[in-house]
Amino acid sequence: MTPAEGTTFVVTDVELDGPSPLRNSMLSFASVAIDGRGAVLDQFEAVLTPRAGHGPDERTTAWWATHPEAHAEATRDPEPPETIMPRYVAWLESLPVPRVFAARPLMLDGVWIDHYLDVFAGKRIMTMPGAGTPLFSGVGLDIASFAAAVTGLDQVTMMGKPFDAEWLGNVPHTHRAIDDALGYANVLARLLDMAAARKTESAMS
């Protein structure tokens, strides 16, 4: 078994009402846990009430107006984040270790989840001194960067470049958090398979 095969990857997507966790709110998020072979272990989906004192960004609101169905899903039957985030922690802790947080882009989804974990559950994505038992190992995996390393695809500098439907497992990228997380989980599963095959070829040569 390679290290990747023994790892749980938690692929996560967030939907927001603005760009800053200090001023805006996370509307919804979803995580899909896969093992190192790409098999889905479990999934978590939540819709959150906006934070008091945090207002939506005008440009983001205008963008959501062009995606009314996705916005309806991202705001349907919300629950307080102080209820959801401890429940999310319990779900994470039920998954096999080691766990690695993964997203595209890591700097967006990871920052928001880390902030909400810190504020509402006293946890962090990264291991911090005195933070207790860590939820995740390492510093997280940016799926686009991994794609660039494994395949040479220009998925890092071309931020808006979508993955092909086949790479997403033909899961439509709808901006509904669970759909997008499942799609990126399929991307990661393919990349892990390609990386394992390359390692095997290298060992045999």
pLDDT tens digits in sequence order for the chain, 205 residues long? 455 778 999 999 999 999 999 999 999 999 999 999 999 999 999 999 999 999 999 999 999 999 999 999 999 999 999 999 999 999 999 999 999 999 999 999 999 999 999 999 999 998 776 666 789 998 899 999 999 899 887 766 665 677 888 989 989 889 999 999 999 999 999 999 999 887 766 666 6
Output the pLDDT for position 32.
Answer: 98
Distance in angstroms between the alpha carbons of the first and the last residue of the chain: 20
Residue 150's H or E segment, with its range, is helix 143-151
Helix (H, G, I), strand (E, B) or coil at 19: coil
Q: What is the residue extent of each domain of the chain?
A: 8-204
The CATH code belonging to domain 8-204 is: 3.30.420.10
Distance CA 87, CA 189 (A): 26
pTM of the model: 0.92
62, burial (CB in 10 Å: exposed 0-12, middle 13-18, buried 19+): exposed
Q: 177-204 vs 143-151: helix axis angle to the nearest 10?
A: 30
Output the pLDDT for position 158.
Answer: 65
Helix (H, G, I), strand (E, B) or coil at 41: strand
Distance CA 30, CA 12 (A): 6
81, burial (CB in 10 Å: exposed 0-12, middle 13-18, buried 19+): buried
Output the pLDDT for position 3.
Answer: 56
